[in-house]
Amino acid sequence: MQRLLEILYYLLDVKKTTAKELAQHFEVSLRTIYRDLDRLIVAGIPIQSRQGKNGGISIDEHYVLDKYVLNDLQQEDILLALNTLSALHIDNYQNLTSQLQRHFHKNINDWIDIDFSSWHDPIHIKQQFNLLKEAILHTKYIRFQYINLQNAKSIKKVEPLQLVFKAQSWYLRAFDVNKVKERIYKLTRIKNIQILNETFHRKKVEPMQYIYNSDEKINVILLFDKDCASFIFDEFNDDEITEQEGKYLVSSQIFNTPWLISTLISFGSHLKIIEPLSLQKELLAEIHKIENIYE
């Protein structure tokens, strides 16, 4: 949709061009350009194509894009949505935003700023977004190095499906070719992304409700000091929290992930595990391992 709109505005600006020039400008194949032009024609845009020395591709000179197809609120919503995409560090949308602002005769206020990049390496995140966006939209296989939770490195070949923002982190949702299974990969642990020339047939992507399977949840009862209030109310529902003798008692279900023990240890003496007893034993065993390092 972004490219179709840009092609439309490009034709309105330059008046006449060629399919080759369009392909070079938008960095796609001639076949893709012809397909896009067919879509615009089907949508009712009067695009003309003439062969010969003075031929080329143009829009009927009497055609005017009717901005009033959208009301003021819809125009503002479109501009705000495009503007917010800058939070993903995808520069391509800035030109389209400027074109639509001029066409709608609107300037939008920067009333919200969202930055998903990390403090230490925003350039790396930007490069990842651009590469993954290209691979997902053009249904191309990618290969990358992945570092799992056990610090084991492996090379993955996948069909990239979606970028997912979940629990303050970015993930790549993809189909692992070797394991013949859909997987989730954390972006910060993906290295050396390569877009391959091979393409895959994209199937319908079902909505993803959560990262892990529900059978990985365990019932816990945790007793926190009041100093941990900000974390508690960020992570748990109000009906799971009970104030008890100057502390907070949390009764909930949590994912039994490999880093659960590390998270619990980070609270130090501000947390006591009431249930389950197995989680207590895991925590104590990890503490003993830490003690052994310093003996």
**Is the pLDDT assigned to residue 157 strictly greater than 90?**
yes
| 173 in the same domain as 134 | yes
Binning pLDDT at 50, 70 and 90, where does residue 234 land? confident
Top-confidence residue, 273 or 44:
273
User: Which residue has better confidence, 266 or 96?
Assistant: 266
Same domain, 52 and 72: no
Residues 158 and 179 in one domain: yes
Question: Which CATH number is 38's domain given?
Answer: 1.10.10.10
List, for residues 62-118, the tens digit of each pLDDT value: 665 554 456 677 767 777 676 666 555 555 666 666 667 766 666 666 555 666 666
Q: How confident is the model at residue 270 (pLDDT cuts 50, 70, 90)?
A: very high
Give the C-alpha separation, 94 to 273, whole Å.
50
- Examine residue 78 and state whether it is found in any structural domain, yes or no: yes
- Mean residue pLDDT across the chain: 80
Residue 208 domain flag: no
| Residue 155 confidence (pLDDT) | 94
Q: Is the pLDDT of residue 55 over 70?
A: yes
Counting residues of the chain whose pLDDT is more than 90, the rounded percentage is 23
Per-residue pLDDT reduced to its tens digit, 207-223: 765 545 444 788 999 99
Residues 127 and 193 in one domain: yes
277 belongs to a structural domain = yes
110 lies in some domain: no
For residue 117, tell me if it sits in a domain: no
The answer to whether position 183 is within a domain reads yes
Q: What is the pLDDT of residue 214?
A: 43
pLDDT at 111: 57
Query: Domain containing 165 — which CATH number?
Result: 2.30.30.100
Model confidence band, residue 26 (pLDDT cutoffs 50, 70, 90) = confident
On whether both 47 and 79 belong to a single domain, the answer is no
Do 90 and 145 reside in the same domain of the chain?
no
Q: For residues 55 and 80, state if they share a domain.
A: no
- What CATH number is given to the structural domain containing 271? 3.30.70
Count of structural domains, the chain = 4
Same domain, yes or no: 222 and 289: yes
Residues 86 and 137 grouped into a single domain:
no
Q: Are residues 84 and 17 in the same domain?
A: no
Percent of the chain exceeding pLDDT 70 equals 75
pLDDT at res. 128:
83
| Domain of 39, in residue numbers | 2-59
**Residue 111: inside a domain:** no
Concatenate the DSSP letters of all residues of the chain into one string.
Answer: -HHHHHHHHHHHHHSEE-HHHHHHHHT--HHHHHHHHHHHHHTT--EEEE-STT-EEEE-TT----GGGS-HHHHHHHHHHHHHGGGGT-THHHHHHHHHHHHHT-----------S-SS-HHHHHHHHHHHHHHHHTTEEEEEEEE-TT--EEEEEEEEEEEEEETTEEEEEEEETTTTEEEEEEGGGEEEEEEEEEE-PPPPPPPP--SS-GGGEEEEEEEEEGGGHHHHHHHS-GGGEEEETTEEEEEEEEE--TTHHHHHHTTGGGEEEEE-HHHHHHHHHHHHHHHHHT-
Q: What is the largest CA-CA distance in the chain?
A: 88
The mean per-residue pLDDT over the stretch 128-156 comes to 87
